[in-house]
Amino acid sequence: MVRIDPDEVLLDIGYKSEGVIPTKELSIRHDVDPSEEVSIGDELEALVLQKEDKEGRLILSKKRAQYERAWGRIEEVMESGGTIEGPVIEVVKGGLILDIGLRGFLPASLVDLRRVRDLHPFVGQALECKIIELDRNRNNVVLSRRAFLEESQSESRKKVLESLQPGERRTGKVSSIVNFGAFVDLGGVDGLVHVSELSWRHVEHPGEVVTVGEDVEVEVLDIDLDRERVSLSLKATQEDPWKEFERKYNAGEVIEGEVTKLVPFGAFVRVSEDIEGLVHISELSEAHVESAEEVVSVGDRVRVKVVDVDVSRRRISLSMRRVEGDAIITPEFEPEPDEVVPESAPEAEVEAAEPEPEVEAPEPEPEAQPEADAQPEPEAQPEADAQPEPEAQPEADAEEAEPEPEAQPAEPEPEAEIAPEEPAAQDDGAEEGGDEDVSLEDIVADLRRREGRE
């Protein structure tokens, strides 16, 4: 190697000019950097592609030379049934590409004993595989690492399979989950727990019950040594909820449950976490019932009597008609703190309203007690503020000490007791005096005259 350029390298082959290796002919890898693939001074083996190009240069290929060498070796390995090893250089759709002197394809389903979903962690790892398909004309090589692993583990698998016995319980780790069940690694052998054997209740998907990597205890159901398959059960290690129900409840007992489904012939009631019983339409009520919707609704809590338990058929007969009292449980709602507040509100309103009659009481009889001035004044003061009468104050002064009228001309404080009579007094003065002005002395004299008369 005498020179390295970004798009080609020059190789001294002792010819009249250097040989040229284009970048795409350097390696089976795509988009490689020439400086990472070769170095100045390296000795390379190359295949002549073209003796002279338009520029008179000799075109060589390092990749094609590797192909020729690799094909011979690969054919020998396949004929002998041996294995071949190479690093993973690329992840493609459906599998991995290994560098075995050429591009060998390893399908994703054959990477491991069980299917691997994420293949990227394998990039850069050296994997040992068996060759299962070879087509030189199409330049196609198919590999299988799974075949190599199965062959290497066959002895240990046989020992594990021979040690298993139906009915035996083993602890294993969930290795993978598929739609029809879950695989459990028992130490070299993967056994299948079918979705119907995961739980006593109905399971839509195995992921509802187990997760990958979880340690579980399973029971061996069947062993096929010829096919090396093991059938396992997870629910067999758990107590049958129907037997548990039969042990706890006897016919004639009244229990609570929740209505889960309505059908034309009755209603299903969940009486346990995994158990539902049927209340036949004839057992819903004493009265004739056309449909279950007339009596119950989905979600209702009801009390039912156990009529019969058939564990073998997985059936429970229930009755609401035979329950004494109301079979439908009415939910009790506790009053919230905010609801209690309005009860005390009327009492507060009554207490606040009690002083009002005392304030209004003196209004209809302002002159009933003219001499007891000290008692009505505190109660009538609010009304006096609301009805200011400048002429009312002299009467209060005259009744207390009978001072001279001229001593209090400037005080405009009104008195509520005479407020209703003021218009009458003014009207009388207006009738007697006509349009003449009425003096303060005349008003005081008139009031005295009226008091003496009354």
Query: What is the DSSP secondary-structure string of 170-182?
Result: EEEEEEEEETTEE
Distance of CA 197 to the CA centre of its chain: 28
User: How many Cα atoms within 13 Å fall on the side-chain side of residue 190?
Assistant: 15
Instruction: Write the DSSP assignment of 276-313 as a string of letters.
Output: EEEEEGGGS-SS--SSGGGT--TT-EEEEEEEEEETTT
pLDDT at 16: 67
d(CA 359, CA 378): 10
Give the tens place of pLDDT for each residue, 150-188: 887 777 788 888 888 899 999 999 988 999 999 998 887
Residues of the chain short of pLDDT 50, as ranges, are: 333, 339-436, 454
Q: Residue 439: what pLDDT? A: 77
Bridge partners of residue 171, in order along the sequence? 217
**Rounded (10°) angle between helices 440-453 and 393-401:** 60
Nearest C-alpha neighbor of 141 from the set 179, 102, 104: 104
Q: What confidence score (pLDDT) does residue 362 get?
A: 42
Give me the residue label for tokens 């590999």.
Answer: 143
Q: What is the pLDDT of residue 9?
A: 79
> pLDDT tens for residues 78-113?
888 888 898 998 899 889 999 888 888 999 989 987
Strands of 3-4's sheet in order across: 3-4, 8-11, 19-22, 58-61, 47-50
Give the whole-angstrom CA distance, residue 18 versus residue 35: 18
CA 398 to chain centroid, in Å, comes to 87
Q: What is the pLDDT of residue 372?
A: 37
Q: Does the CA dihedral 422-428-434-436 come out positive or negative?
A: negative
Return d(Cα 260, Cα 257) in angstroms, integer.
9
Do residues 234 and 221 lie in contact, with contact meaning Cβ atoms separated by under 8 Å? no
Contact status, residue 420 vs residue 362, Cβ threshold 8 Å: no
Burial class of residue 304, CB neighbours in 10 A (0-12, 13-18, 19+): buried
**Spatial separation of the C-alpha atoms in residues 63 and 39, rounded to whole Å:** 16
Within 8 A by CB and 6+ apart from 152, the residues are none
Angle at 256 between CA 255 and CA 260, to 5 degrees: 130
CB 76 within 8 A of CB 36: no
**pLDDT in the model for residue 437:** 59
pTM value is: 0.41
Query: Residue 336: what pLDDT?
Result: 53
